[in-house]
Every structure is written in C-alpha cells, then in structure tokens.
Structure 1
Amino acid sequence: MRISRTAVAATAIAGLLLGLSACSSSDSGATKLDPNADLSLQTLTVSNWAAYNPEDLPAKFEEKFGTKVTITNHATNEEIMAKLTAGGDSGIDVAFVSGQFAQALAAQGLIENLDKSLIPNEANLVPEASKLSYDPGNKYSMPYSWGTTGICYRADLMKGNEPTSWNDLLMPKPQYKGKVTMLATERWLMLPAQKSLGYSINTQDEAEMGKVKDLLIKAKSNLLAYDDTTFYERLVSGEAVMVEAWDGWCNYGIAKNKNIKFVVPKEGSDLWADTMVVLKTSKNKEAAHAFINYILDKDVHSWVIDNILYKVPNVLRFTHASPPK
C-alpha cells in the first residue's frame, strides 16, 4: 500500500502515537495569559526541523501580528530534548517535537498547559486530533502534521525486487547489501524488527525485545548507515537503493527523482504526529499561542502542506491554498 500525502482518511489519525498511554503533567493548570496583550512587543524563538515550515512563515506572521519570529533548527527529537531538559532557560518559546517527546516534556513540567481561549483555530482540526493517546484533549500540545513510516526505494534500481516486507530492508538481497539505511532514532530503529517478528511496536516483553535486538544486530552488517537526516539524498544520488523513511521525507526525494517510491510493508507500521508546544520558560506566551493558532488557520495549514510535503490533521486536509495574504 502506498500512502500519498493527498489521500488519507481522517479517522486514521485516531490511532496515532502508537498506543502510548497518556501521562500527567506535574503542573495543574496553564499560566494566566492576557488575551489583549500587544503582540508587537513580544518576540518569538521557534525550534523546528529544517525545511519543516514555509521559509516565509516568520515574515508572514510578523506582517500580521507585528511579532518578530526567529526559527532555529534541530536535527532530531533527541537533540531538542537534550537542550530543553538541560536546565535553565533555553531561550525557546515554541518547540516542534514528536508526540511521545511532548508527553515526556509534560511529564517533567517543562511545557505549558495551553490556554485554549487563545487557540480558537483548534476547531479546524479533525475530531480525531483531540483523541491522541499521548495527550487526550490537546492539553499541552497541538498537532502540526502526521504521517507513517515505511520503505523509500529506487524503483529503477530494484526492478523486479521492489520491497514489500520489512524483511526486504533488514535482510536485503546480496546485490543491495551496503546500500540500505535505517532510521537512528530508537523507536523507529526498532520498528522494522518488531513488525518483522510479528510483535507490537509497543512491546515491553523482555523475551521479545531480546529477539528484536538479535535481529537488529544481524541486520547491521547489511547497512550503509543509520541515518535520520540525509537518507532521501542518498536515494537521489543512488548511493542507497532502499531506506527506512518517514513518508514526508520520502516525498522530498520523490520531488527530485520520480523513480523514488514509498511503500508501507505488509506487516504494517505506525502512525505518528509531530506537535507544537509552548515552553514554560517562555516570556512571550501570548505570542506563542498566537503562533500556534496561526498555524492552525485553514489556509495557513493547507499552505504548509505545499511546502513540507507532509499531511496535516486539518478539516480542509489537503485542499491546496495560496500563501495567506
């Protein structure tokens, strides 16, 4: 099954975040905010993955609200987590993190419970987007995008051997050894082996995890690299023929080489969400809420699709819109 960024049922979002159970934050409520705050007196520092927002998003937001926005980049969830959990003020107001990492930040009391009165555009999200297991009701995070994980491959270099199973990635045919990459982030590193062995991706069974470890060690000798950031470029160049990939990142490769394809292996995969959170140390919380609300505007969220090539949980879904005026 091939998942397109332009065709997916909203009901699928209900299964996001891999069945993680919700955690409770150490904070009992949100900081009281001023709905009439002059946003032009506030500035924002936003941390996001590179190329994961339209380049002119800061300028558009500043034009509308008078708030200067600086976007900094983190390469992985682990990188931004290390920065946010190091202690002190990171200087970041809004961070983009995957759902389970938002859950971890909330558990440590590092992010605000959101003031929903300042985020009326939450109403633009599909109903399932408020039922995510890592944060039911979106108390401390707002969904930005969602997707799945599969195999991205060069169809022209794998004619007759197109992957259909996670086993094709873990134990590739001899001619493909050394031309395969897997994601380095722990949760996604384990996923192919877990699904290949018929286990839940949430398994905590020690015996099952032992077998997962053994399979991953065995698969390591077949790999070109563990790669979270440049795997689609390796496909474009032909250095790799098959990579474990998030679907949106595969779309980056497809945009450069139409021979690149994406498949969800027959054993199944995950559905995940990336979210927006407001740091408790932020001194610009009204502007931070306005920024999240702006992202959730129907036209803005649709504009995001055209730029980041991922899916968004907006009621407009994938209706394309021109950049907002």
Structure 2
Amino acid sequence: MHVRTTSLALSLLCALGVATSAQAAGTLHFANWSDYYPPELLKKFEADTGIKATLDAYDSNETLLAKLKAGGGAYDVVVPSDSFIEIMVKEDLLQKFDKSKLTNLAHLKDTFKTLSYDPGHDYSVPYLWGTTGFSYDSAQVPGGKLEESWKPFFEPAPELKGKVVALNSIEELFVPAAYYLGVDECTEDPKQAQKIQDLLLKQKPSLAMYNSDGTIERMAAGEVAMHEQWNGAFHRAHAQRASLTYVYPKEGIRVFIDNFVIPKDATNVAEAHAFINWMMQPENIAAASNFAKYNNAIEGSDKFMDKELFEDPAINTPADKLSLLKPFQLCSPKALALRAKVWTKLKK
C-alpha cells in the first residue's frame, strides 16, 4: 500500500529513528578493527533504517591513520582509540558532529560524558572499552603460574622463546614498558626513552611476532604460550581453552576507549550520524558487547548483555584490581616523536 508521507509525519518518523525514503536511498561505509563488530548487527541496522552498509577492517590505529591520510573518503564511520583522537583532529582528518542528529548522546553513562581527549564529544562517541594486559597458557609456562607483573612478558623465561607475541603497535608496547620501568609514559627525556627501547630490543628475540590480528585464535589453539592481549579477546579465547589466565600487572594496566568518528572526507555524512545514533541505543550497543566481549558506555545496556561478561574478572575488574587501571594520557608532540623513534629502531 502506497502512503503519502506528510512533512509532519516525516518529522515524527525521523525523531523516532524510523526508516524513511530519504534514508532508504543511503549507503554507509563502515571500517572497524578486525573481528570487532557483529555482522548480524549491521544487517539489523540495514533493516531498521533502510541504509545499505558495508564493513571493512584494519589491524591498528597506525594503519587507520595512514588510511585517513591517504584519503578518508572511502569510509563514513571508523573506530580509532582514545589516544589517536586528538592526533586526527589536529591533522584535520575528522569532521565535527552535528549533535542535533545524535539525540542518543543522552544515553552515555556519567563516567563517559566528559573525556579528556574530546570533552564535548565534538568528534567522537565511545564504542567499546577495555584493558590491554597479557594472557598466558598455564599448561605451557614454567611452573604453571606467572607473576602478576609485566616482568614475565617483557623478560620471558628462556623456555618461552618463540612462544610470546606482542601487539603490533608502539603505543601498546611503549606504555606498559614505561609502567614496568617506572618511567613517565609521556617522557620527553631521550635517556628515559632509551631505557624503554633497550627493554623492547632485549625482548624482541623471545617473540614469535608482533601482531594485533589473530590474538584469539593463537591463544585458543595453544599456538603460543603468552600474548599481549585485550581483555575481550582473552575472554573469547578462554571460552575455547580453559587453561588461559589474564594478568593484571602490579605496575598498572592501560584502559582504552575505542570511538566512533566521521572522517573529514566522508561522503555519506547523514548516514554516518544515523548509524552512530543507532549504535547508542542500549540494545544495539549491547549486541556489540556480547559479540566482542567488551564493556560499553551506554546506560541501560547492561540488561541486554550476557551474564558471563559480568562473571569474568578479565571483563568486570575485581575491586582489589581497580587501583591498577590507568586511563589514557595525552602526550606532547615531543614525547610522541620519541616513541616513534623507538618504534622505528625496534622494527628494523
């Protein structure tokens, strides 16, 4: 049955987030970290809005940054981490939100309403958040148990040579190395950066690889004994291999927040806003949490989330470990330049 939609009715439909003929003609090109978004949720978005959506993947913030610098018009929404938001803003790679189209910002939990890297949510909205620690297979490590410290990861036992994997990101290595050595993660002192470089170069021969993809599969299959890993990835691997343990190092563990942003050169801007606003509905973001096994920032999502997430201490940090959580720190260009030099040396 064909129904003529009046302007008033159209306004009401838009306010309710219901698909309209204008939306139905749209397309969304979405890019996210690999294995970090449920494909079936994108199908639900298409069904709810009439917008046709595609999903592409990348393996690190550095890869995403390079893609945006090369021309971000290929994507309408991408998901960088907290530490890369200001870098992308300063390099004019993102566009400001039209917050009148993001009415579901009201659903943000109080903790996430003001964040240091984008206090007014002008460019970013939280997607999922978690911690970056490391996991090990108790069936493969000497003695079956490791110290709750970064020491076993950065200075592995000789028996573990070739059985340890680090994430392929200078940020993910430099920051925990700084925690372990008691160095300021935002140091501008070349001597302090040298200490971190020396530690990472000493660790390198013990590593099987630097790789941010496949962390779940490698640990679940027992291919390696230890892996720097995000807590949600650990949860998914642990479901397949009971002998895995997630470590909260005594020196501290980084909390990360991944975010939805719209690239400066995005072509489907209205659709991008529609998608981000749709993802801030509690049941939709909960579906992403249930798939990726990370927490989110939306009030009311808990009732749609799997109970197992709240029962895993890797996801729901125990009270006695909360003091170990370290939020993102914004470092100076000089400090970041030092990090880049360390990375260049390490990857030679």
Question: Is TM-score (shorter-chain normalized) higher than 0.5?
Answer: yes
What amino acid sits opposite 2:148 in the alignment?
A: T
User: For the Cα contact (< 8 Å) 1:165–1:266, is it kept in 2?
Assistant: yes
**For 1:61-94, what per-residue CA distance to the aligned partner results, in whole angstroms no more than 9, with x for missing partners?**
111111101111112222221111014x532111
How far apart are the structure 1 equivalents of 2:305 and 2:221?
32
* Structure 2 counterpart of 1:28: none
1:161-176 matches, cutoff 5 A: 161-176=145-160
The equivalent position to 1:253 in structure 2, one of 221, 225, 237, is 237
Could you say what secondary structure the match of 1:38 adopts? helix
* Structure 2 counterpart of 1:67: 51
User: For the Cα contact (< 8 Å) 1:151–1:163, is it kept in 2?
Assistant: no
* Structure 2 counterpart of 1:150: 133
Could you say what secondary structure the match of 1:291 adopts? helix
* Structure 2 counterpart of 1:285: 269
1:222 equivalent in alignment to 2:206 = yes
**TM-score (ref. length: structure 1):** 0.83
User: For the Cα contact (< 8 Å) 1:170–1:192, is it kept in 2?
Assistant: no
- Cα 1:201–1:37 shift into 2, 3 Å: farther
User: For the Cα contact (< 8 Å) 1:135–1:141, is it kept in 2?
Assistant: yes
Structure 1 position 205, deviation (Å): 2.3
Higher helix fraction (1 or 2): 2
How far apart are the structure 2 equivalents of 1:230 and 1:152?
14
How far apart are the structure 2 equivalents of 1:234 and 1:126?
34
Return 5+ residue gaps in structure 1 as ranges: 1-33
The equivalent position to 1:114 in structure 2, one of 97, 114, 126, is 97
What amino acid sits opposite 2:251 in the alignment?
A: E
How far apart are the structure 2 equivalents of 1:224 and 1:91?
34
User: For the Cα contact (< 8 Å) 1:183–1:227, is it kept in 2?
Assistant: yes
Larger Rg: 2
1:82 equivalent in alignment to 2:92 = no
* Structure 2 counterpart of 1:105: 88
- Cα 1:63–1:231 shift into 2, 3 Å: closer
**For 1:178-219, what per-residue CA distance to the aligned partner results, in whole angstroms no more than 9, with x for missing partners?**
211111201012123211111232223222111111111111
The equivalent position to 2:177 in structure 1, one of 186, 193, 212, is 193
How far apart are the structure 2 equivalents of 1:138 and 1:91?
23
What amino acid sits opposite 2:80 in the alignment?
A: V
The equivalent position to 1:319 in structure 2, one of 283, 287, 303, is 303
What amino acid sits opposite 2:176 in the alignment?
A: P
RMSD of aligned alpha carbons: 2.0
Structure 1 position 321, deviation (Å): 5.0
Return 5+ residue gaps in structure 2 as ranges: 1-13, 307-348
How far apart are the structure 1 equivalents of 2:148 and 2:219?
18
Structure 1 position 46, deviation (Å): 0.5
How far apart are the structure 1 equivalents of 2:21 and 2:150?
52
User: For the Cα contact (< 8 Å) 2:95–2:123, is it kept in 1?
Assistant: yes
* Structure 2 counterpart of 1:128: 111
User: For the Cα contact (< 8 Å) 2:126–2:258, is it kept in 1?
Assistant: yes
What amino acid sits opposite 1:67 in the alignment?
A: I
How far apart are the structure 1 equivalents of 2:303 and 2:269?
31
Structure 1 position 37, deviation (Å): 8.7
User: For the Cα contact (< 8 Å) 2:282–2:304, is it kept in 1?
Assistant: no
Deviates further, 261-270 or 194-203: 194-203
The equivalent position to 1:294 in structure 2, one of 274, 278, 296, is 278
What amino acid sits opposite 1:294 in the alignment?
A: W
1:212 equivalent in alignment to 2:214 = no
Structure 1 position 228, deviation (Å): 1.0
What amino acid sits opposite 2:139 in the alignment?
A: D
Deviates further, 221-230 or 132-141: 221-230
- Tell me how many residue pairs correspond in the alignment: 288
What amino acid sits opposite 1:246 in the alignment?
A: W
User: For the Cα contact (< 8 Å) 1:149–1:264, is it kept in 2?
Assistant: no
